[in-house]
Amino acid sequence: MTQHPLSFPAVALATSLLPDPETCWHAVQRRDRAYNGRFWFSVRTTGVYCLPSCAARPPLRRNVDFHASPEAAEAAGFRACKRCKPRDWQADLGLSQPVARACELFDAADADTPPSLAEVARKVGLSSGALGKRFLAELGVAPRDWLVARKRERFRSALRGGASVADAIYGAGYGSPSRVYENSDKALGMTPATYAKGGAGAHIDYTTVDSDYGRVLVAATQKGIAAVFLGDDDRSLEKSLKQDFPAAEITRNDDVLGPRVKGVLSRLYGRKPSALDAPDVPLDIVGTAFQWKVWKALTDIPAGETRTYGEIARRIGAPQSARAVGRACATNQAAVVIPCHRAVGSSGALTGYRWGVARKERLLAEERRRSSR
């Protein structure tokens, strides 16, 4: 199993995981704040781009496009919405002003000489210890881990943008190529050359099968399962896979993935318990150390039961990190294998689910029915 940090630890997936269009559109219709930072949408008739939670009048679907970052939206010719201020999405996620400002200061610094925690803490009006506690509470990671994740994301972004491996290494702030190649599994899940431009050179097999909950897509690298998606049709599921791995070699291979599919369906129908790294469903997915803690806690929830984000936060020893727990659930790419459908809001109400709240409700209902036998 490979564990990889993401950009803006556990907060921004904008540079790597753009949800499928159907999911994006539903989030826009709901004005779902949980998707702020995961994508931005533009409206051709107004020429602006917005956060999913924007309170402006809902646009028509035919006029809407989705973007992985503010920069991508602006490169397409759109200007920032003055109402939702889409470049300030960290504040909309509920980050306190000191933490949001600290992130900006760390991110704006020279990659070779990042400021010290004490220096940044002084500028935001906190002690080093207090700022460290705020990071853990609001983002789920320490400032040092945040800086490591940002360096790795600068490296990945440069490769995706077409930079040479050498330029990407030194531009990201690494002192030598050996440091990157020694840790390429942690930084990329593959060597730098194969990761460049969305996984060019990497090979991913996938298949789709029918289930009582709609269509299921299972995709895997040689290391393990890279994605488990739930949906209504193969076309949208395949499109989502290609968006997540735009330059990888993706091949439909129904035969080779038979054992992996069997393992996924065993979890879907409750024939096997959830497990983070079971032999029949090994995972090769992206996540921070904090996200892996959350995902492990999700697999410990008995089938048919639910836990609030706050309860999960307390379970992993980070009681003030309920928001970060919610974001970790939203970034899970292995539906059912990692049972994020068992996480609910503070009131116990079913909250947003990438594969649809109705599907989440049915999964839980079936689990309860099986458990009551």
- Positions annotated as catalytic residues are 50, 340
Residues paired with 64 in a beta bridge? 43
Residues paired with 216 in a beta bridge? 209, 230
C-alpha closest to that of 15 among 246, 355, 322, 218:
246
Residues 6+ apart with CB under 8 A from 72: 40
CB 308 within 8 A of CB 288: no
CB 40 within 8 A of CB 69: yes
CB 272 within 8 A of CB 285: no
**Residue 214 to residues 83, 230, 232, 304: CA-CA distances in angstroms?**
38, 7, 5, 19
Question: How does DSSP assign 4-72, residue by residue?
Answer: ---SHHHH--TTT-PPPHHHHHHHHHHT-GGGBTTBEEEETTTTEEE-TT--SPPPPGGGEEEESSHHH
